Structure 1
Amino acid sequence: MTVGGVPDRDSCVLSNLIDRHAAATPDKAFVVLPDGGAVSYARLRAEVRAMARALQDLGVQQGEHVLVWMPNGLDVLRVWFAINYAGAVYVPINTAYRGGILEHVVRNSGARLMIAHGGLAGRLADIDRSALERVVVLGGERPDVPGLDVLGAEALASDGEVKPLSRPVEAWDTQSIIYTSGTTGPSKGVLSSYAHLHAMGTSLAAERDGTPFVGADDRFMVNLPMFHVGGTAPTYAMLACGGSISLLDAFETSTFWQTVEATGTTAVILLGVMASFLMKEPVRPGERDTPLANVIIIPLGAEGVAFRERFGMTTRTLFNMSEVSCPLIAEPNPTVVATCGKPRKGVQLRLVDAHDVEVAPGEIGELVIRTDAPWALNHGYNANPEATAAAWRNGWFHTGDAFRTDADGNYFFVDRFKDAIRRRGENVSSFEVELEVAAHPAVREAAAVAVPSEFGEDDILVAVSLAEGQSLDPADLIAFLKPRMAHFMVPRYVRIVDDLPKTPTRKVEKYLVRQSGLTPDTWDREAAGISIRREKLAG
């Protein structure tokens, strides 16, 4: 139910959802693990309530921020749910953080308490910990961190009942703070309400008209991190509908299909590179005969389009980011490479210039968003009013992403504005270059960046990492690309690397590729005598 367009507490507040499903279907599994273990709704509620009381005994107050620094698994799920059950705010940290980025996030969060894996907590000794006073270690060895009160897992155990909250948790209360990757500056903490995460999760699992394609009988594989919306959104989607999740610590190509079978998984999100890895695996007997029925592939490359034909399930794609709630969704089984779909029900979208003036059809502009329902998007950045004001100007949320549309109304991600390439009078999408390069069978990942040209504007450098056991002659890559893209998009420079530099959330740090520039091992097709010109038309 909704009240004034906002879901009521029973529909979106985490504690209410747990209570409702534990009462209605106590023996039904909410979590299934690859090793065959499972946790029912009733057991989940009991464990979450016990941990919520322990948090209250540690002094956690309603509305307080609690840092969580843990890998995927049952422990982090219980901790997240217990924090929200106690009325507090879940603030997960990427498990790769250390040094300056860790210090920034700890300081920005304003948290007094952290729950961390022992293998991570020792990194706190090397930073200024700001307001942080206490760490509870859950999993691994308990390190000694001078100046911090470091407690063991027993601090999260309790036999007591959850203390009443000062007031009921509302749909618009802050549920979590999830930090962005920080590729263009310090990471920003995205403030998400319960209504926002509910909108994101339910939109993720629905068609453009809002009709769900998963329900109480489905099981959504969570193999993306819980410190990211890739892990939290499908978890919340299945909690909202009374379904279940299969919970993995990470995606593994070699065991993916066995895990699907073992857990009875019916739905999953695959990043484009994951789908590519699976497509490059040898064909297996009976590979179309699995319980997996729905696969969301983001972004949708050529191999993503071919995924449905090979494996026989329904494929989907969409656009999302931590701040929004899946505003663009494609029809099932999309065939237009790189499409993000069309606006879903309940959102308004515009493509605008630097002055927020709408661009002409077919032109590239920044995607700005607003929703019909209150609280269905983020409500700012934690302790960062300047960034909040910049993103939320003129009544629209500004994504910072360049998009274009086609004649059919499909939206296409072009680039982050900072990654735009201008070559020979043409605007080039690094994203579209990367899609075509990654379609080469030997390529695992690609990053296209602008490098200075002796003729002004830009030339294009593509850095590639190779699939396991593969080799690549750059000239062969150019021959592969030439019939697949416009002449001005074909890279001049190719650099083969062991791995592309990544942010802690596994996004490619293009600025590092750009900073490296033309290294001694960079191949130049023009120096190799390969020149690509505009095709002359006869007549």
Structure 2
Amino acid sequence: MFAIFADGCSWTYRDVRREARIAAVAFMRLGVEPGDLVLSWLPNGPDALRVWFGLNYLGAVYVPLNIAYRGTILAHAIRNAGAALIVVHADLAPQLDTVDRGNLTQAIVLDGDHAVAGLTCHGREALEGEEDAVGVAAGDVPPWQTQMVIYTSGTTGPSKGVLSSYLQCYTTALESFPYLTRDDRFIVNLPLFHIGGTGPTFAAVVFGASIGLVDSFKTSEFWPTIRRLEATSVVLMGAMATFLMKSPPSPDDRDHTLKSAMMVPLSLDGRAFADRFACDVYTAFNMTEISSPLRAGPNPSLAGTCGRPRAGVEVRLVDENDCEVAQGDIGELIVRTDRPWGMNHGYLADPEATARAWRNGWFHTGDAFRRDADDNFFFVDRMKDAIRRRGENISSFEVEAEVGAHPLVHEVAAVAVPSKYGEDEVLAVVALQPDAVLDPADLIAFLRPRMPHYMVPRFIRFIDTLPKTPTQKVQKHLLRTEGVVAGTFDREAAGIFIKRETIGG
């Protein structure tokens, strides 16, 4: 068995190979060749796996898009990928009507018949057919070839497409979950356009294990889903573990099959979670660009630790000149591996961002850490202006671009403010045009169709001018320190709650 899906259907490994070969032949019929990038804009489910594995079987590059993308963020990803073909769910296809579609010429629209103007559109039948010879042998796809491009939020510019080789994906899977065996079943409740979803799925392939693939994490449904799918392992990102711990104790807390949980970050007492739910807790530090250089477990006792360096990596904490800081001091974490291609090989069509990240032979994470005398590493803060909310990395640049598109907004800064769930909420600090008046609820209404649900600011604060340095750079650290002051608009307090859209009914 390889996969069990939310509707109870399942695939064996033999089924996976058959589905991948059928999809690979279908892509070949549409003109896809080895090395081509193809966009996949689909929710979790059999189709997402079919497209991913079919493209890779052919030697093409899988490029999944966040199903919450829309507007300028969607257009940027499409242009950046330069792909000619997109596979899209019919519920999402209308979003393509109003954006720059770059080099797209074809679309496979699944579970509906929406026609996208200017594109040759195919239905589900385009992915169907026979398991014919594909014409690509496994040895024809070298391990250093790009397997996938996953978009990760930019911090000083638009989102970047991370170039991940087969060897990086293999290394990440192997090193992130060394405790897995072929008898394990990963519950994959994070999306397949996110490393939190692709990582466990690929790890199951590496270890010969299986997955239970569902559409999302829901606190009330988590344990029933674990029991129904007989899952033994899970990744709990962001506030997911906090939500589970805050749920009322139940006699059923230990009545399940879960054996291990990768908690990222370790934002609460891992031992308390392990004791309550009778499973081992692990933690690690990872990014889409790297391969879990730090890890700890089972059941680490140091609060907030990300672990110690694993074998095969070197890590340093450095200042702005890449000089190592003293033990106990805060520095940026930089990483390199002894396995060639064990981390990303750059950002798609963005040589400047690649050069900034890969300076002096090390990959620069942009995250601040400290290290104790026992070589334990602790995450301190983001050296960049990213915001993390409910497991999603949010680019302040992209929030600011959409808020700034409102005609009454003069300038804006988006910063993180603490959430009671242990991560961040988004605060938009806005300076309006002279003599302008804007109801914050109207600004929220303006933003909702323009950005993913998780990016819409919770807090809006109006000020006359943003604080700046003499060189006119916004002093975001001052805005973060001030946080939510009196008079700040809180959309949730105003009864405006924005949730993820359900795809496919």
- 1:118 is matched with which residue: 90, 109, 113? 90
What is the CA–CA distance in structure 2 between the aligned matches of 1:237 and 1:503, rounded to whole Å? 31
Distance 1:122 1:413, change over 3 A: same
Q: CA deviation at 1:271?
A: 1.4
Task: Report the counterpart of residue 416 of structure 1 in structure 2.
Answer: 382
Query: Residues 347 and 371 of structure 1 are in contact (CA less than 8 Å); yes or no, is this contact kept in structure 2?
Result: yes
Residue 163 of structure 1: how far off its partner (Å): 2.8
The 1:410–1:160 alpha-carbon spacing in structure 2 relative to 1, beyond 3 Å, is closer
Matches within 5 A, 1:189-338: 189-206=161-178, 213-338=179-304
Q: Partner of 1:348: helix, strand, or coil?
A: strand
Give the corresponding residue for 2:144: 172
Aligned partners of 1:255, 1:510: CA distance in 2, in Å? 26
CA contact (8 A) 1:181 1:507 kept: no
Alignment correspondent of 2:100: 128
Q: Does 1:33 find its partner at 2:31?
A: no
TM-score normalized with structure 2 length: 0.78
Following superposition, the deviation at residue 42 of structure 1 comes to 1.1
The two structures have a TM-score, normalised by structure 1, of 0.74
CA deviation string 1:116-159 (max 9, x = no partner): 101111111111111110110122x2222211111111111122
Q: How does 1:461-480 map to 2 (within 5 A)?
A: 462-464=417-419
| Runs of 5+ consecutive residues of structure 1 not aligned to the other structure | 1-28, 207-212, 421-429, 439-443, 450-459, 468-497, 524-539
Distance 2:7 2:103 in 1: 39
Q: Kindly report the root-mean-square deviation, in angstroms, between the aligned alpha carbons of the 2 structures.
A: 3.0
CA deviations 1:154-180 (Å, max 9, x no partner) are 111122513313870010000000001
The aligned counterpart of 1:156 is: 127
Please state whether the residue corresponding to 1:388 is helix, strand or coil.
helix
CA distance in 2 between partners of 1:286 and 1:510 (Å): 35
1:180–1:187 CA contact under 8 A, matched in 2:
yes
Alpha carbons of 1:503 and 1:269: their partners in 2 closer, same or farther (altered >3 Å)?
A: farther
Indicate whether 1:402 and 2:368 are aligned: yes
Larger Rg computed on CA atoms: 1
Instruction: Output the CA distance in 1 between the equivalents of 2:330 and 2:282.
Output: 24
Match of 1:99 among 61, 71, 85: 71
| Structure 1 residue 312 displacement after superposition | 1.3
* Residue 419 of structure 1: how far off its partner (Å): 5.2
SS of the residue corresponding to residue 317 of structure 1 reads strand
How far, CA to CA, are the matches of 1:511 and 1:413 in structure 2?
Answer: 25
Which amino acid in structure 1 is aligned with residue 129 of structure 2? S
Give CA-to-partner distance per residue, 1:8-38, whole Å, 9 cap, x none.
xxxxxxxxxxxxxxxxxxxxx1001244321
Shift of 1:236: 0.6
Residues 344-393 of structure 1: CA distance to partner in whole angstroms, max 9, x if unpaired? 11100011111111111111111110001100000000001111111111
1:319-346, Cα deviation, whole Å (9 max, x unpaired) = 0000000010013101211110000111
**Which stretches of structure 1, 4 residues or longer, exceed 3 Å deviation after superposition?**
460-467, 501-523
* 8 Å CA contact 1:279, 1:303 repeated in 2: no
Q: How does 1:376-455 map to 2 (within 5 A)?
A: 376-418=342-384
Unaligned runs of at least 5 residues, structure 2: 397-414, 423-443, 462-475, 490-505
Deviation at 1:110, TM superposition (A): 0.9
Aligned CA distance change for structure 1 residues 463 and 393 (closer, same or farther; 3 Å): closer
The one of 42, 46, 53 equivalent to 2:14 is 42
* Per-residue Cα deviation, 1:295-316 (whole angstroms, up to 9, x for no partner): 0111112244421121111001
Once the two structures are TM-superposed, the CA of residue 183 in structure 1 deviates from its matched residue by 4.1
Aligned amino acid, residue 219 of structure 1: R
Residue 324 of structure 2 aligns with which residue? 358
- Output the CA distance in 2 between the equivalents of 1:35 and 1:110: 34
Structure 2 contact 21–134 (Cα < 8 Å) conserved:
no
Amino acid at match of 1:389: A
> For 2:99 and 2:113, how far apart are their aligned partners in 1?
18
The residue identity in structure 2 corresponding to 1:229 is: I
Deviation at 1:503, TM superposition (A): 7.9
Match of 1:60 in 2: 32
Q: 1:482-508: CA deviations, max 9, x gaps?
A: xxxxxxxxxxxxxxxx9xx99859589
Q: Quick one: structure 1 residues 331 and 416, their matched pair in 2 at CA, closer, same or farther if it must change by over 3 Å?
A: same
Number of the residue aligned with 2:110: 138
Q: Aligned partners of 2:327, 2:303: CA distance in 1, in Å? A: 20
Tell whether the 8 Å contact from 1:32 to 1:39 is kept in structure 2 after alignment. Answer: yes
Kept in 2: contact 1:275–1:303 (CA 8 A): no
Q: Look up the match of 2:401.
A: none
Distance 1:466-1:406 versus aligned 2 partners, 3 A rule: closer
C-alpha contact (below 8 Å) 1:183/1:503 kept by paired residues: no
Using a 3 Å threshold, how does the CA distance of structure 1 residues 62 and 98 change in structure 2: closer, same or farther? same
Aligned CA distance change for structure 1 residues 509 and 330 (closer, same or farther; 3 Å): farther
Aligned residues: 425
Give the whole-Å Cα distance in 1 for the aligned partners of 2:352 and 2:417: 34
Contact 2:58 2:136 in 1 (8 A): yes
Q: Could you say what secondary structure the match of 1:177 adopts?
A: strand
